[in-house]
Amino acid sequence: MDSLSFLFNTISWILLSSGSFFIITGAYGIYKFPEFWSRLQASSVTDSLGVYLILLGLAVQSGFTFVTVKLVIIGLFLFITGPTSTHALANAAFISGLRPGEKLESN
């Protein structure tokens, strides 16, 4: 293995590990935070960053191929749909009467 290949593998695995860390942190935030609004914040921010880092790590791993083009298209799709779905969910919760600071009822 030459040094350039080792460098790309190292960068790729750092990005993949960082993305996995952010996704696991977001999942822990969903579990630990007490109310809907803070859970929504934890899930939307950390999952978006985690997915982008994982996609970037996969793109570095695959090199400049057609797979990288597909990963960029997936990233653009998630860049548009992630914040849109989070906004729609927050808007639906607010309209249904859930206000910031109210805790969710446990069953």
Confidence of residue 105 (pLDDT cuts 50, 70, 90): low
Has residue 104 been placed in a domain? no
The two structure tokens encoding residue 71? 């990963």
Number of domains within the chain: 1
Owning domain of residue 62: 3-95
Asked whether residue 10 carries a pLDDT value surpassing 90, the answer given is: yes
Q: What is the pLDDT of residues 11-68, one digit of tens each?
A: 999 999 999 999 999 899 888 888 888 888 888 888 889 999 999 999 999 988 999 9
Has residue 7 been placed in a domain? yes
- Contact (Cβ atoms closer than 8 angstroms) between residue 3 and residue 37: no
Q: What is the mean pLDDT of residues 65-93?
A: 91
Has residue 53 been placed in a domain? yes
Q: Closest Cα to residue 61, out of 102, 91, 104, 19? A: 19
Asked whether residue 3 carries a pLDDT value surpassing 90, the answer given is: no
Has residue 101 been placed in a domain? no
